[in-house]
Amino acid sequence: MAWPTRLTEEVINDYLSQGAWEPATISDYWDKNADRNPQGIAVTDGQQEFTWVEAKVWTDQLALAMVRLGLRRDDVLVVQLPNSAELPLIRVACEKAGILCLPVPRTLRQAEMRFCLRFTEAAAIVAPWSYRDFDYFGMIRELQGEMPHLRHILVAGKEVPAGAFSLHELACHRREERGELTALEARCYKAAEVSLINSTTGSTGLPKFAEYTAAARLLYGRSYVDVLELTEQDVLAALSPAAGGPNIPVYFAAPRIGAKTVFLKHFEPRAAFELIQQERVTLACVVPAQLAMMASYPRRDRHDLSSVRFWLSVGAPLAPNLAREAEDRLGGIVLNTYGAVDWGGVVFTSPLDPPEARYFTVGRPRVGTEVRLVDEEGRPAAPGQVGELQGRGPSCSSGYYRNPEATLK
């Protein structure tokens, strides 16, 4: 069992009894949408599109395939892919198979990937053969020779090299034996078990790996649903390639309400505008640098952006002038956030906040998040005093994977 590192059974039971956590998992929501709205579009990236029922079949089959490949419960599957419709599906399949999913940026190269794969003792990895002139398979194949625990390479895309399994073939060829899906239910992660690992940016050196339960991530998603009043009619877009941060609503709010999600494979302002116009995006998830590029794009008026209700900016400080300029030039409301992969607390502005609050603050803590500012001695900081921010709450990371020392710090 992937027990949360720093949470006791008493804390988990408190979260559940108070309603902060719920017993449902991410895969539960995906499967529920398949029953409720089978032909509704769940996710698209402009090249691939999945209805909710297609997504259920795809995730069931991939989960079964990973079990047949010999992946054990709590093994780690690393995912190094560009933005694609397959990203959320792989997470769901991993949850169903009881396999820890670790998405990492596609920009990581040999040194960082060697560390990630070795530290987590990953059993398998999903990656493209090549993308934007980089040979991912070649890099991974070389690393595999150093790591006997890395047993399988799954390659996304139409062409697959010798020595790898086709992600498409594994997920799309339906051939479960009687009783296999029932047996899968015993492996599926529970809401209070760690099912997802996110890599940090490595600001203090090589990356660390923050662990999350489905319950914590779904609570974060619920905060966006409630504050932004999201419904099934909304369309959420991942314009950033982030595994969390800006795209938390895409991964963890959309399934709650059965809303469609769209992934932009590679960001350029024109491509983003075309996607927004074509898919009638209502919530665009970005980092500030992307927002700045779109606000300053000279031909933005050629695209219809009127569907966008909100621009959610995450991942770096948002300058007040940029927020104001983006609203003036792009329409919609810009929302600011505060947080980090390592922490997981929920702090963001509301569309009901006055403009000055949205431009000059990061909003307020939500869904049980508590924050305080302390001085160098750990005492509460005085008003106006510079200090260190501390936070806790039911949406937070449960610690660093396989790193109790860093968790204690």
Q: Which domains does the chain have, with CATH numbers?
A: 25-39+52-199 (3.40.50.980), 214-392 (3.40.50.12780)
pLDDT at 31: 98
H or E element at residue 113: helix 110-120
Q: Encode pLDDT of 114-161 as tens digits.
A: 999 999 999 999 999 999 999 999 999 999 999 999 999 999 999 999
CA distances from 189 to 6, 78, 83, 115, 194 (A): 18, 17, 25, 26, 8
pLDDT at 334: 99
Report the alpha-carbon angle 210-212-213, nearest 5.
Answer: 165
Amino acid at position 409, single letter:
K
Sign of the alpha-carbon dihedral angle for 271, 276, 279, 285: positive
> How many angstroms from the chain centroid is the CA of residue 227?
19
Amino acid at position 315, single letter:
G
With contact defined as beta carbons under 8 Å apart, do 167 and 155 qualify?
Answer: yes
pLDDT at 203: 56
Reduced to 3 states, what is the DSSP secondary structure of residue 270?
helix
CA distance linking residue 176 with residue 64, whole number of Å = 7
SS (H, E, C) 175-195: CCCCCHHHHHHHHCCCCCCEE
CA distance linking residue 214 with residue 290, whole number of Å = 29
Q: Which residues of the chain have pLDDT under 50?
A: none
With contact defined as beta carbons under 8 Å apart, do 101 and 154 qualify?
Answer: no
CA distance linking residue 96 with residue 181, whole number of Å = 10
Closest alpha carbon to 45 in 306, 287, 237? 237
pLDDT at 85: 98
pLDDT at 201: 72
CA distance linking residue 222 with residue 339, whole number of Å = 16
Strand ranges (E), 6-141: 41-44, 49-51, 76-79, 100-103, 124-128, 130-131, 134-135
pLDDT at 407: 87
Query: What's the pTM?
Result: 0.95
